[in-house]
């Protein structure tokens, strides 16, 4: 009886969890001016986290040259969302501090990625 309760409670605990970024681009990214800058983050969480991108503390809005791709995987054992952000062509003003932020009803997790232009 105790083992069944433990298993049942363990399942409930796993059912809801704050987001956790599990994979991401390296902390420092170099890009060539006029070429593509591509950043990546993947997060797990239940319910499925929302993923947003920020540059220098300001949320990135889509515009010509900026694309964000999301890949969602919802399974019994794990819920994950992966996001690729691309800036093409990247310019001098695209250098800076980027953050991917995974957020759900149980919290948030963020990852900093520094992008530097290579001349």
Whether residue 51 is predicted with pLDDT greater than 80 in this model: the reply is: yes
94-107 average pLDDT score: 96
DSSP-derived pairing of the beta strands 107-118 and 28-32: parallel
CATH of domain 17-118: 2.60.40.10
Strand order in the sheet with 79-87: 17-24, 37-46, 79-87, 66-74
Instruction: Please state, in angstroms and rounded to a whole number, the distance separating the CA atoms of residues 118 and 108.
Output: 32
Res. 7: pLDDT tops 60: no
Distance CA 29, CA 96 (A): 10
Per-residue CA distances from 66 to 7, 10, 42 (Å): 46, 42, 19
Domain segments of the chain as ranges: 17-118
Does the pLDDT at position 113 exceed 80?
yes
| Mean of pLDDT values over 21-49 | 95
- pLDDT tier at 76, thresholds 50, 70, 90: low
pTM: 0.80
Could you check whether the bond before residue 44 is cis, i.e. omega within 30 degrees of 0?
no
């Amino acid at each position: 009886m105790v083992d069944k309760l433990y298993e049942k409670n363990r399942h409930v605990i796993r059912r809801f969890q704050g987001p956790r970024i599990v994979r991401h681009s390296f902390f420092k990214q170099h890009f060539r001016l006029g070429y593509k800058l591509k950043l990546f983050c993947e997060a797990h969480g239940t319910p499925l986290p929302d993923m947003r991108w920020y540059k220098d503390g300001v949320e990135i809005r889509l515009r010509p040259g900026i694309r964000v791709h999301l890949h969602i995987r919802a399974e019994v054992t794990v819920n994950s969302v992966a996001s690729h952000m691309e800036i093409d062509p990247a310019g001098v003003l695209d250098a800076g501090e980027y953050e991917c932020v995974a957020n759900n009803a149980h919290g948030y997790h963020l990852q900093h990625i520094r992008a530097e232009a290579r001349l």
